[in-house]
Amino acid sequence: MQTIKTTSAPSAIGPYSQGIVAGGFLYTAGQIPLVPSTMQLIDGGIEKQTEQVLSNLEAILTAAGTTWDSVVKTTIFLTDLNDFATVNSIYEQRLKTAKPARSTVQVAALPRDVKIEIELIATVKHNEQS
């Protein structure tokens, strides 16, 4: 098992890791729209929040030595399902040809009152450290 930690994504705001590689897979913690350098929420609506969350996830993917093309599953949590079309458009632009399995659910609330949180599972090359 390998813990993934990068300064290019927000530090954990609780007792968890940004990501864990185990059994050939990367499992990320849910990412919210925190700017890594300031640990402050990004200004803006669902568009800016979605872009920041995807950037945070991309940083963790990179730190684990993998890419969007290796993502097998994402879970998107939204506080308002009416934002789905906007999020979907930004998501599709960022992932390009990658088409992982995905679930999207509306939740009552998210940490720090953000509008979106995304977690993912991706394959990684089998070079884990113990």
3-state helix, strand, coil in the chain (%, to 5): 30, 30, 40
Cα separation, 87 vs 101, in Å, equals 16
pLDDT digits 0-9 by tens, 92-124: 999 999 999 999 999 999 999 999 999 999 999
Helix (H, G, I), strand (E, B) or coil at 11: coil
Mean pLDDT of 12-36: 96
Position 41, amino acid: L
Domains of the chain in start order, with CATH, are: 2-123 (3.30.1330.40)
pLDDT band per the 50, 70, 90 thresholds, residue 125? confident
Mean pLDDT of 6-30: 96
